[in-house]
Chains A and B, each alone.
Chain A
Amino acid sequence: MVATLLHFVPAQMWLITPEFILRLLAEGLLIGLIYSLMALGLTLIFSVLGIVSFSHGEFYMIGGYVVYLFLQKFQNSLPRALTGIGALLAAMLVTFAIGVVFERLFLQPMARGEVDRPNEYAILTTFGLAFFLQYLMLGLMGPFPKKARRFFDLPVFDAGLIQATKASLKIGNITLGAGRLIAGLIALLALLAMLYFMFKTWTGRALQATSQDRQAAAVVGINPMNMNTLAFGLGAMLAGLAGAVLVSVYSWVPWVGVIASSKSFVIIVLGGMGSIPGSLLGGLIIGVVESLGTGLFPDPVRAQAYRDVFGLVIFALVLLVKPTGLFGRKL
């Protein structure tokens, strides 16, 4: 009898302390920032071009591999921090460039109205790009998981309650790994930069204008075709950056983007298609829910495997209550 009851008590029950929960929360928020970054990219593409890109995860994948290769090549010839920054910039540049070229070659004909079935066309071409990039990287990198070394260190200090070593940060009794912490912080910086860009610069406002009324944008003199290219390039770049900061946290295979991609879909639908605040909040929610769900699930062995399910449960619940997502509107 007692044995049967015990079966339902979480095996790691003794671990569930306030510190444990706080750590789960913090880790969830950190990973959530990266989800937000990716989702913001997808939102940008959706709002301006009016299509859902099925190659978003592959830009994430490419971003990670670019960092991996960059570190391999320059790890010993450049100072560490500089290598890290260089690697991130390279990842952003490469994914932006692929996005821009792809948009010009394959999506512009659709935007010009030269394609008979634009919706099907968009799905097929972005899927096509996804497969192309997956098999390209499979050919170039092989199927075996790669993992980049952490490319930034924390500044070492000891301020009593908060202590940092190169590899971890300790706040009270909560310890966070430097890899995730730095990944989250970079994502946060990138998000802030994007918000500034979207709301405070002329080009950002032109992107918003194009997403809200394409014809009116052309009336005031904005070239909507250029905005399409820019939005797709930036969207790809954000996914690339998300991959770039995570390649030292997760191991990387050519199909690593598939899950990331579906997560981004979930987030932008959860947040309300095309909403910037929606994708930010949606990313954080999914990050935290996954983290808490995995950490608190009674059976720790299965918990990892269920990781993606927790987000989907919240997703389903929110859509039941509010089918348009949290913020149903455009940019």
Chain B
Amino acid sequence: MTTQTAQTEYALEVRDLYVGYYKDLNILQGVNMKARRGQLTAILGANGVGKSTLLKAIFGFLKPNAGDVFLNGQRINDVPTYQRITLGLAYIPQRMSIFRWMSVEDNILLGGWTFRHDKERLQRKLEENFERFPILREKRRQPAGELSGGQQRMVELARTLMTDPQVLLVDEPTAGLAKLLKREVYDMLTELRDREGKTIILVDQEIRHALRIADYVYILDLGRNKTEGPTAEIVADLKKAFWI
């Protein structure tokens, strides 16, 4: 047995999760999920089945009533939410989560909160992000709330990447974006996986796009697992079912 936790095959694992917004009302009723390291795992399903709820529970914004969340093989149920970024777990929620009235630059810099005393690293990561998103450099003094939807997503992504998280939870990143921008966002996600080996858990309504880039797929149905499998198998099943 290895002590190197970072080498577990699965970067993230959810076991038999029961969670909800009110006592005694579980939205998720025994969900299981495993995300293989360095792969993109997509979580699909109709509106309201509990995909966002699952990500909130993984990040700790919702306390599980039962079940466990493991990161690199370690149970993290009891780790406070604000400490999860230090474990290399990052979260981009479905609704826009920028600091609206702060400048773009301050938004991105706040992504480096956990290493705020390391000026040199802050500058380096900021610079990296400006190279990744040149438009953000141009608009760095503007309040982030004034940017377009696509650019606000870029601010979120840039802020998230400041700490080089190993596992990213991403909830419907392209909802409401223009077609061209959607493509860009998906390309960015695949790049993060292929170049930097990041583990990505992507929740999406854009089934077609998600299937194009995912390695493994889970389909949820009203708070429970419905199907899962490598993308190719799922696509074949779907084709059979819908003749698409």
Interface, chain A (partner B; CB < 8 A): 202, 205-206, 208-209, 212-213, 215-224, 329-331
A202 and B116 contacting across the interface, CB-CB below 8 Å: yes
Contact of B97 (CB < 8 Å), options: A215, A221, A223, A331? A215
Q: Which residue of B lies closest to A223 (CB)?
A: B82
A201 to chain B, nearest CB (A): 10
A221 and B85 contacting across the interface, CB-CB below 8 Å: yes
Q: Could you say which residues of chain A place their CB within 8 Å of the CB of B101?
A: 208, 212, 329-331
B159 at the interface (CB under 8 A from A): yes
* Complex-state Cα separation, A209 to B83, whole angstroms: 16
Closest 9 CB pairs of A and B: A216-B97, A221-B114, A218-B82, A221-B85, A212-B99, A221-B113, A218-B81, A223-B82, A220-B113
Residues A221 and B98 in contact in the complex (CB < 8 Å), given A202-B113, A206-B113? no
For residues 56 through 104 of chain B, which have their beta carbon under 8 Å from a beta carbon of chain A?
59, 61, 80-83, 85-86, 90-91, 93, 97-102
A208 and B111 contacting across the interface, CB-CB below 8 Å: no
Q: Is the interface of A mostly helix, strand, loop or mixed?
A: helix
Q: Could you say which residues of chain B place their CB within 8 Å of the CB of A213?
A: 97-100
For this complex, 6 residue pairs linking A to B, each with C-beta atoms less than 8 Å apart, are A206-B113, A208-B101, A216-B93, A221-B82, A221-B86, A222-B113
Residues A212 and B100 in contact in the complex (CB < 8 Å), given A202-B116, A219-B90, A219-B91? yes
For residues 105 through 121 of chain B, which have their beta carbon under 8 Å from a beta carbon of chain A?
106, 110-111, 113-114, 116
Q: Which residue of B lies closest to A113 (CB)?
A: B63
Contact residue range for chain B?
A: 20 to 34
A220 and B102 contacting across the interface, CB-CB below 8 Å: no
Q: Which residue of A lies closest to B61 (CB)?
A: A215
Most buried by A among B61, B83, B102, B160: B102
Q: Which residue of B lies closest to A226 (CB)?
A: B82
A-contact 0/1 string along B28-49, CB 8 Å cutoff: 0000000000000000000000
Interface, chain B (partner A; CB < 8 A): 59, 61, 80-83, 85-86, 90-91, 93, 97-102, 106, 110-111, 113-114, 116, 159-160, 163
Contact of A224 (CB < 8 Å), options: B82, B91, B106? B82
Q: Could you say which residues of chain A place their CB within 8 Å of the CB of B85?
A: 219-221
B59 to chain A, nearest CB (A): 8
A205 and B102 contacting across the interface, CB-CB below 8 Å: yes
Q: Which residue of B lies closest to A219 (CB)?
A: B91
Q: Which residue of B lies closest to A329 (CB)?
A: B101
B123 to chain A, nearest CB (A): 15
* Complex-state Cα separation, A222 to B102, whole angstroms: 16
Q: Could you say which residues of chain A place their CB within 8 Å of the CB of B106?
A: 205
Q: Could you say which residues of chain A place their CB within 8 Å of the CB of B113?
A: 202, 206, 220-222
Contact of A222 (CB < 8 Å), options: B59, B61, B82? B82
A143 to chain B, nearest CB (A): 45
A215 and B102 contacting across the interface, CB-CB below 8 Å: no
Q: A218-B82, A221-B113 are in contact. List 12 more A-B contacts (CB 8 A).
A: A205-B106, A208-B101, A209-B110, A212-B99, A212-B101, A213-B97, A219-B81, A220-B85, A220-B114, A220-B159, A222-B113, A329-B101
Q: Could you say which residues of chain B place their CB within 8 Å of the CB of A217?
A: 82
Q: Could you say which residues of chain A place their CB within 8 Å of the CB of B159?
A: 220
B114 and A208 contacting across the interface, CB-CB below 8 Å: no
A216 and B82 contacting across the interface, CB-CB below 8 Å: no
* Complex-state Cα separation, A165 to B3, whole angstroms: 76
Q: Which residue of A lies closest to B115 (CB)?
A: A221
Residues A223 and B99 in contact in the complex (CB < 8 Å), given A202-B116, A215-B93? no
Q: Which residue of A lies closest to B156 (CB)?
A: A216
B97 and A219 contacting across the interface, CB-CB below 8 Å: yes
* Complex-state Cα separation, A330 to B101, whole angstroms: 8
* Complex-state Cα separation, A222 to B86, whole angstroms: 11
* Complex-state Cα separation, A215 to B110, whole angstroms: 13
B146 to chain A, nearest CB (A): 12
B233 to chain A, nearest CB (A): 34
B40 to chain A, nearest CB (A): 20
Q: Could you say which residues of chain B place their CB within 8 Å of the CB of A202?
A: 113, 116
Q: Could you say which residues of chain B place their CB within 8 Å of the CB of A330?
A: 101
* Complex-state Cα separation, A219 to B58, whole angstroms: 12
B122 to chain A, nearest CB (A): 10
Q: Could you say which residues of chain A place their CB within 8 Å of the CB of B100?
A: 212-213
Q: Could you say which residues of chain A place their CB within 8 Å of the CB of B102?
A: 205, 208-209, 212
Q: Which residue of A lies closest to B85 (CB)?
A: A221
